[in-house]
Amino acid sequence: MAQTFDGITDALCAFIEAQHVFFVGSAPLSAEGHVNVSPKGLDCFRVLSPTRVAYLDLTGNGNETSAHVHENGRVTFMFCGFAGKPMILRLFGRARVVLKGADGWDDLAARFPTFAGARQVVVADLDRVQTSCGFAVPRMDYIEDRDLLPKWAEKKGPAKLAEYRRAKNARSIDGLETPVAD
């Protein structure tokens, strides 16, 4: 059943690399604030070391994870084995956000495919790596990635994307401010 690890093992890394979707959870410090869980796809997650991970975050209609990370740093990633071995993997840690164009962006972004609309990389230092059985997670077949978000961003273009981020991504739904990339 549940097992805790000091870091991401080779077997857990292979499990992560085999998944087509992962989930990011974050929350503000305020008990009245909203807990956020975001599904992420495409080829946007990387294991940097046994205790450090990163994901490339694309422009979307919200920016909750960034706002929460700027406020308190807490983040959780969850991977579910929808195919193959049933397992759930949770990675708990403290994160920071590296905006497009900021120090460290080029090195981090080079680890990912190029996607129109890339706005930031969330880097997390892990303090807990835990598996659980996943026996109730349904088996599902992967068909393909959706390319709608990158196509939307490409159609908008850099100037309109920067304008969109300033208008739609600078505050969380609870009013927390977060920096945005131009």
What lies within 8 Å, CB to CB, of 170 at 6+ separation is 63, 177, 178, 179, 180
- Please give the distance of CA 61 from its chain centroid, rounded to a whole number: 15
Q: How many CB atoms lie within 10 A of CB 136?
A: 7
Question: Domain spanning 3-135+144-168 has what CATH number?
Answer: 2.30.110.10
Average pLDDT score, the chain: 96
Q: Which of 56, 161, 54 is nearest to 117 (CA)?
A: 161
| pLDDT above 80 (res 77) | yes
pLDDT digits (tens, 9 = 90+) for 127-163: 999 999 999 999 999 999 999 999 999 999 999 999 9
| pLDDT above 90 (res 181) | no
What does pTM read for this prediction? 0.95
Q: Do 54 and 46 contact (CB within 8 A), yes or no?
A: yes
The predicted pLDDT at position 17 comes to 97
Give residue limits of the domains in the chain.
3-135+144-168
